[in-house]
Amino acid sequence: MARKKEPQEGKKKVQNANVEGLHAQVLDQKITDTLEVNYMPYAMSVIVSRAIPEIDGFKPAHRKLLYTMYKMGLLNGGRTKSANIVGQTMRLNPHGDAAIYETMVRLSKGYEALLHPFVDSKGNFGKFFSRDMSYAASRYTEAKLAPICGELFRDIDSDTVDFTDNYDSTMKEPTLLPTTFPNVLVSANTGIAVGMASNICSFNLEEVCRTEMAYLSDQDCDIASTLTAPDFPTGGEIIYDAAALREVYETGRGSIKIRARWRYVKGENLIEIYEIPYTTTVEAIMDKVAELVKNGRAREISDMRDETDLNGLKLTIDLKRGADPDKLMARLFKQTPLQDAFACNFNVLIAGTPKVMGIREILSEWTAWRMECIRRRVFCELGKKKERLHLLRGLGKILLDIDKAIKIIRETEEESAVVPNLMIGFGIDETQAEFVADIRLRNINKEYILKRLEDIDKLEAEIADLEDVLASRRRIKSIIKSELETVIKKYGAPRKSQIVYVQDTAEEGEEEAAEDYAVTVFFSKGGYLKKITPQSLRMSGEQKYKEGDGPLLSYESTNNAGLLVFTDRFQCYKAHLYDFQDTKASALGTYLPTALKMDQGENAIFIMDPGDYSGNVLFMFENGKAAKVELAGYETKTNRKKLTGAYSDKSALVGIVPLKEDTELAVYTSDGRAIVLSTSLLAPKATKSTQGVAVVTAKRNRKTVGIMPLEKTQIKDAARYRVRTIPSAGALLRDDDREEQQMSMLD
């Protein structure tokens, strides 16, 4: 038995040694090496080979799918099952059938995500404007290439673009598609890479082509005169802002406002919304409207339903008697995604390098790339014609003595010697001799040869013309213009998104206030908020909190009161109490980081009622400094919901105290001392991020640990700790003045 165990024990020792060696390797590897070897290649792959579109307007996944469909003969043929297309595409795209089919769905006519879809689909492909209307499985749907794809593949067999091996080197695929129009601006594209993203809005095809033609004639042309504004597949109304559009056109970054289109049906007293912003969905709109109705902020609405059918999108809002549809829609535009903004980020891969560009720079890059495509096409055609001319000139030499050619062929004993003998006999090269040797016997006559020779003059003229094209930028630009004219004639379509000028938009009325009533607000250390009515509070028992959580502060207020929420990321979120539902003491309440859509890992640490934004708020920091900031600095005319730099980030925050008027505060330090000071010693600051002035005398290992209004402390002899000037070291706390409760308002 012992002999049998020895190999097992030996094996275990080897395994343990291997594990220890593996741990040693992991522990010894530097984080910089890990990033360089593992993370950087991944990040580069995502940026270059997946998420960012290139100058042809496509990502690699789009290009692989469309090229596969082209090779399957789906440009001119009938439809085939989507599952068949997905399977064939996996020869180029190894990322799985689900990802390939999702790519096809986005490019399809049925999904309605593009102004000019590239996939002519049949069956249920879902809808871009709905998050719940999902597409059918690939085995149920059919597809082929849309006619506009002819503009993508017209020159692909003329050496216009480079080809590369697929992932297993069994076939070739194009690195770009030779689009005859600036598809990068026509097809909307969104991608999130590592450390960067791309968000390109779509423009009307005819407007883009006209702008490119104007650019070819004059690089300093006024782009805004031909490219009016973006054009979205879902329609809607673009609120024209000349300054915002100019920023987008010049820098490639900016925001464009879009709102829904609607009509009022007077006889039925209802509103029909039939086009929505490209950036939202039907469900998001209905959820927000339902929330407004529930909170009493849209009392004119009796019902809302989705009546989308085969005729297109339609959301219906039933109105109560006497409701003003214009005023209601003005408020809904302000409070719901019925009006939204498209954040532009024109990030495009240029020669493998991501670059954020304005419209003029994109047109410049596309023009240079397209001119190179034209040159390559002309050069390819020129090579074929020169080769043909070379063969015909060899044939012309045979014309001088056809009998001699026949005699040479007849008297040659070996087949392999026919071509060399013809080369010697007529002074022609091997290519010409091969061409002559391959002529059928019935064509070795003067008539056939003379007809072929008639093409020589024509070929020479065509070659001269092609060489002139290669040498002339003007002629290449002329070819591009003629192709753009053809595209406009075949595929041009009216704008889907209407343009509304700012002065023509209805003034947004004041928000209708929700019902106002008394409430008591409770805020916990864990970031939960409760809003409880007096009646519910009287009937309630003990306040319930999550395990490990507890009360931080509470105050009486009203339902219409404002709310400032400070976080541990030096930010402040603005809201109203009517944004939150009434609750009971037995409930946990509303988790503010989720309700206010805070950043990942951000926590709420303090709340307050700003009132009319008079008075101040005091921030006490661990380094002994205090900042008295004017509340007016948190009032925003643009009704922003999030304020960055709400307080200083130079030192850890110890406490926040709202100040409607000057009062006395008690400050506690880590070495057992206390200071009682009047806030009148601190001058108010207009800058929110100020670090303030020193209250506690700086000393090594001394930190400020708490701050509270004097009347809320256990200090009996305030005169012992009161100071007239700051900074001060304070006085040692007596036992009967020490706090039993937590001194910091933020712990």
Catalytic residues: 140
In the chain, DSSP finds a helix count (H) and a strand count (E) of: 21, 33
Between CA 227 and CA 206 the distance in angstroms is 9
Nearest to 113 by CA among 20, 232, 290, 249: 232
Whose structure tokens read 């829904």? Answer: 260
Task: Report the side by side order of strands in the sheet with 616-621.
Answer: 653-659, 616-621, 625-630, 693-694
The 10 Å Cβ neighbour count of residue 244 is: 17
Give buried/exposed letters for 255-294 (b at 16+ CB in 10 A, else e): ebbbbbbbebeeeeebbbbbbbbbbbbbebbbebbeebbe
Measure Cα distances from 382 to 156, 386, 456, 464 in Å: 16, 6, 14, 9
The 10 Å Cβ neighbour count of residue 179 is: 26
Q: Answer whether 436's CB lies under 8 Å from 419's CB.
A: no
Q: Answer whether 174's CB lies under 8 Å from 166's CB.
A: no
With 0-12 CB in 10 A as exposed, 13-18 as middle and 19+ as buried, what is 627? Answer: buried
Between CA 497 and CA 261 the distance in angstroms is 9
Angle at alpha carbon of residue 246, lines to 243 and 252, rounded to 5°: 130
Between CA 687 and CA 628 the distance in angstroms is 10
Give buried/exposed letters for 134-155 (b at 16+ CB in 10 A, else e): ebeebeebbbbbbebbbbbbeb
